[in-house]
Structure formats: structure tokens, C-alpha cells
Amino acid sequence: MLNQNARMFNPTHRFSVESQSSLKSDPIVSWSNTFSEIVNGLAVSEDKIFAAIGGKLISLKYDGTIDWRFVADSKVYSSPAVVGGCVYIGTQNGNVYALDVVNGEEKWCANIGESSTTSPAVMNDTVYIGCNRGETNSGKVWALGISDGNVQWSFEFDPYQIYNLTDPTVANGLLYISNGNDTIYALDATHGTKQWTFETGSIMESSPAVVNESVYVGSFDENVYALDAKRGSLQWSFETDNGSYSSPMVLEDTLFTSSQTSIYALNALNGAERWSFEHKNKSGDRSPVVVDDTVYIAGSDNELWALDVDSGTLQWTFDTNGYMTTLPVVVDNDLYFGTSEGTLYALTGDTEESVSKANKINDTELYTTKTDQGGINTEVFKPCSNCGESLSEYDNPTFCPKCGKRDPV
């Protein structure tokens, strides 16, 4: 169940879970898996993790074993969206895919013409996704039918103003998106007509967070803005110590955001500072994630940080191999995230539980070749010589997903 109190910029692919509790102590690795390419995006459903890695979408169980993979036509640069039994992704070549969450089977594919670098947003019967300026268009956001991918509408941005579109957010019958340059747009979610715009003083890579009657967004002009969600008028602004392209998160009446050098907790009603914490992180995704009483964020020197939600004091840190390229997600009291070195981590704070969950999936990629049916083929491989696990359902396995033993086939 989605935590309705914790609002992020795109709840269909990045969210916290209401029943979860935070990791209270120094975490340990329950499992990790290092792939050959960067982990570009992460999403979860009730029982699966979906990781966008290079030109593939990989489905894993919570214990790290891999269910299936889907090989797309080109790179997948953003997080997938998981809604109603389907997972949605966009690719560098402009294709948008709807896949079955159970087996990765392709439901439909729609081409929107240019590279899709935004994550999809799904609301009611529509999938919203943006593509940047290219040879055949000037940059658009598209609305596609959720059942067949047919185009419902598209909105074209001024080609001289567009930079990199941010992930769209849909709320209150409107779609909110930044052109990546200096302007945030509110479009009618049904017809795509422009309702209002708001200009800041510099580029915005911050995807908007929408809570009740307010839209929150950060800018490289060193300000965080709160705007009226219906009219786009300024409610308040807060000056940060550096440029901000963090995507904000709101928990009850507190707004969490960050600049290039600090993390902030602000009063969401008036912008007053409640606390700040210096982090000096120059790379990776600096957007905060709040679960229970803990704020998780990419810290300095390839670290994951956990801060107290009320005071901002540092609770613990975890060293990663490379900087974080996805936001952390907490499910069943485990925390998942990906890095620039291609590693997908599962952390836990419960030592006993971690022993039972760990399946020794370390420093290898399960799949090595493409198949036509979402990661399933008919070639029979001999059972694992260590534990007897059948390997027939996998694509040329280089190790056993049951026991982790490398087993030539």
C-alpha cells in the first residue's frame, strides 16, 4: 500500500511503503548482484524488484533471484513504472513498452520518435512519458492509452527552451513537468492543453512533488519553490546554499530536499528551515527518501546516509561501490538501491533475518544472451552439481541462483 503521507515526484515508480519501518542500526548486505552496466532505474511491486540496466529490464524476487529479463531495442535510462500488473519503460530509441509483471511478456510497444529519458507516470487509463529534442521533434510529452499504447495527445515544447525534461507528475487532473531549462508547466492531463507556467532563474532537473494544493520544485538558481497547484502562483521560496536539482519529498507538513552541498527539512506550509545537514555530494541522485523516522540520501564519497527525520543527525552510513544512481526503496524492512558500477544492493538491519535471506548472489550477472520470450527458453541445462537446482528456465546461466555456486554448463 502506498504511503499517502509521503509524496514524491512520481509515486508510480518510486515510493515508500506505509507499513515499513526504517533500518535502525548499521545495515549489512543481505545480497548484492553486480551487472555489466550501470543501474539506471529501480521500481518495486508487491513481490518483485525491477531494475533498468543498460538495455534490459530485469525482474528479481526480494531474495535476489532473477525471474526474467526483457531485452529492449536500446538503452533504458530511467526508472520503470509498475501499475496494475504491468511494468512500463521507455528507451533511447523512443519505444515505450508495456510488459507483464509475471513473465516480462510484451503487451504493447509504442514509438514516440525520440529518446525517452523520463520515467513514465501512470494515472487512471493513461501512461505519460516525455522525450527530448531530436532530429524529428523539438521535445514532447506524450499521453498513451494504458491498454494499447495508442496516442491520446502530445504537447510540444519550445525547441529553444527545452533542455532535459524531468519526470512528469500527475495530480488534481493536471500533469506537472519541467522543460529542464527554467520553466515548469502544468498541462491538462486529459487533453494536454497548457494551464500555466512558472519560470525560475536557472535550469531545473528537479521533478515536481505535488501535495494537496502545492507544487514543490528546486532550481539551480539556488531556490526551492512552493507554487499554487491550480494557478502556478508563488506561495513561498527558500534560498539554499547551492544549486538544487533534488526532487523533493513531503511527509505530513515537512518538505525534504537537498542542494549540491546540503540536505534540508523545511516547513511545507511556509518554507521555514527546520534543520539542515551538509553532505558535499557532487554526483548521483541526491533526492531524499523518507521511511518511518529516517531520511535516506546519497551522501559524500560513495556512501548511503541515514538521518534522523526530526533532527537531521546522522544515524549511520554505508559505503557503496560507485555513486548511487537510483533512489533507495524500502520493502519488508530491507533497503534496495543501485550504483554507477552496476551493483544492485539489498541491505538489512536485522542480522538473523539477513542470514536466512542471503543467497550469495555476488559479483555476477545471471543472464548472458538474448531470448525471444522475456528471459525464458527451451534449451535444457544440467542441474547444479552443488544443490541439484534445475537451470533449464534460465538463459545460459553462469552460476546457480539457488546456492550461488559457479557451475559450468
Query: Residue 2 domain-assigned?
Result: no
Predicted pLDDT at 19: 47
One domain, residues 263 and 390: no
Predicted pLDDT at 274: 97
One domain, residues 316 and 215: yes
The count of structural domains within the chain is 2
Q: CATH no. for residue 346? A: 2.130.10.10
φ/ψ of 50, rounded to 5, equals -120, 120
Query: Residue 366 domain-assigned?
Result: no
One domain, residues 389 and 344: no
Question: What are the pLDDT digits (tens) for 325-374?
Answer: 888 888 877 889 998 888 999 998 764 554 444 444 333 333 333 333 33
One domain, residues 405 and 296: no
Position 21 pLDDT exceeds 90 = no
Question: What residue numbers bound the domain in which 404 lies?
Answer: 375-409
Share of the chain above pLDDT 70, in %: 75
Query: Residue 370 domain-assigned?
Result: no
Query: Residue 305 domain-assigned?
Result: yes
One domain, residues 273 and 392: no
One domain, residues 315 and 409: no
Position 4 pLDDT exceeds 50 = no
Mean pLDDT, residues 140-163 taken together: 86
Query: Residue 19 domain-assigned?
Result: no
Question: What are the pLDDT digits (tens) for 111-138?
Answer: 887 888 788 999 889 999 988 766 656 6
Gap between the Cα atoms of 262 and 246, Å rounded: 11
One domain, residues 292 and 243: yes
One domain, residues 400 and 275: no
Q: Name the band, by pLDDT with cuts 50, 70 and 90, for residue 2.
A: very low
Higher pLDDT, 112 or 281: 112
Predicted pLDDT at 193: 96
Query: Residue 268 domain-assigned?
Result: yes
One domain, residues 206 and 235: yes
Gap between the Cα atoms of 203 and 244, Å rounded: 9
One domain, residues 220 and 309: yes
Query: Residue 156 domain-assigned?
Result: yes
Q: Name the band, by pLDDT with cuts 50, 70 and 90, for residue 94.
A: confident
Query: Residue 86 domain-assigned?
Result: yes
One domain, residues 328 and 405: no
One domain, residues 201 and 168: yes
Mean pLDDT, residues 228-256 taken together: 90
Question: What average pLDDT does the chain have?
Answer: 79
Q: Name the band, by pLDDT with cuts 50, 70 and 90, for residue 267.
A: very high
